[in-house]
Amino acid sequence: MYSIELNEWNRVIDFYFAELDIFKERLTEVADKNNKQSVTTGIEHFQNQFIVQNEALQGLRHDVHRQQLEITAEVKKAAKIINMDIVDAEFLLRDRVHVAEKILLELKHSFYRFLAKVL
- Over residues 16-39, the mean pLDDT reads 94
Confidence bin at 84 (pLDDT 50/70/90): low
For residue 109, the model assigns a pLDDT of 97
Q: Where are the domains of the chain?
A: 2-118
For residue 38, the model assigns a pLDDT of 84
In this structure, of 6-15, 89-98, 104-113, the range with the lowest mean pLDDT score is: 89-98
Confidence bin at 102 (pLDDT 50/70/90): very high
Its pTM stands at 0.83
What is the DSSP track for the chain? -HHHHHHHHHHHHHHHHHHHHHHHHHHHHHHHH---HHHHHHHHHHHHHHHHHHHHHHHHHHHHHHHHHHHHHHHHHT-SS--HHHHHHHHHHHHHHHHHHHHHHHHHHHHHHHHHHH-
